Chain A
Amino acid sequence: ETGVTQTPRHLVMGMTNKKSLKCEQHLGHNAMYWYKQSAKKPLELMFVYSLEERVENNSVPSRFSPECPNSSHLFLHLHTLQPEDSALYLCASSPWGAYDGYTFGSGTRLTVV
C-alpha cells in the first residue's frame, strides 16, 4: 500500500448510472489529483485540488464532477458516461507542488457499457 487508497478497484456501469470513485490519503499531503489513463495515451490530468480548493479543471466534461470535502478525501462523481470514458482513473497526492513527487493510488478500472 502506498498510503493512497482508491475504491472501488473495478467498476462497471451503464451509461445512465451514477457512481462515485473515492480516494483517501493519510500522508499529511495537502494537494490531490485525478488522472485518467486510457490505452495508448499519456496520463491526462483531470483535476487538481490544493487545500480542498479546486485549482485546475483541465477541460473535463461536466459528466465528471470532483469533490474534495477535506484534505484527506477526494471523490469523482460520474453520471451519464460514454463508452470512451472507460479507463483507469488514478488518484495522487503530494505536498503542495510537484517538487517532491506524487504518491499514487492503485487506480479504479472503469468500464462503461
Chain B
Amino acid sequence: SQQGEEDPQALSIQEGENATMNCSYKTSINNLQWYRQNSGRGLVHLILIRSNEREKHSGRLRVTLDTSKKSSSLLITASRAADTASYFCATDVGGSEKLVFGKGTKLTVNP
C-alpha cells in the first residue's frame, strides 16, 4: 500500500533556482528517506531523517520533517541541469524493515 505521497507530481524550474518537493505519509515512522532516480535507472539514496529530527542538511539538500503533520519537504538549492530526475520519499511502515515509496516528483531543471 502507498505510504508516502509526493507533491507536486512534476516541477520545472530554471538552473540556479531552488526546488521544493513535499511528501505526506499516513502512519507512524522511525525514519523518512529521500531517493533520486534518473530516467530508467535505479534509485539513489540521498538523505535519511529520523523521527526525532526536524531538519537535516547534506550539501545542497535540506530536508525537514514534521511528525505532527506527517509531512516532509526536500529543498534543493541552486539547482543544476544534472539535478533533473524523479525524487521519491520513502518511509518504514510502523518501524518495520520495509520501505514504502510514493509516486515521486519529476523535477526538470532547464539550463
User: A: which residues have CB within 8 A of B?
Assistant: 2, 4, 6, 31, 35, 40-43, 45, 48, 50, 55-56, 88, 90, 92, 96-107, 109
Contact = CB atoms under 8 A, between A and B. Distances in A.
Interface in B33-66: 33, 35, 40-45, 48
A92 B96 CA distance: 16
Contacts of B101: 35, 42-43
| Chain B facing A: main interface SS | strand
A90 B48 CA distance: 20
Given A56-B98, A96-B97, A106-B42, A101 B48 contact: yes
Interface of B: 2, 30-31, 33, 35, 40-45, 48, 88, 90, 92, 96-104
B103 A42 contact: yes
9 contacts: A40-B103, A43-B101, A48-B98, A92-B43, A98-B33, A98-B99, A101-B33, A101-B45, A107-B41
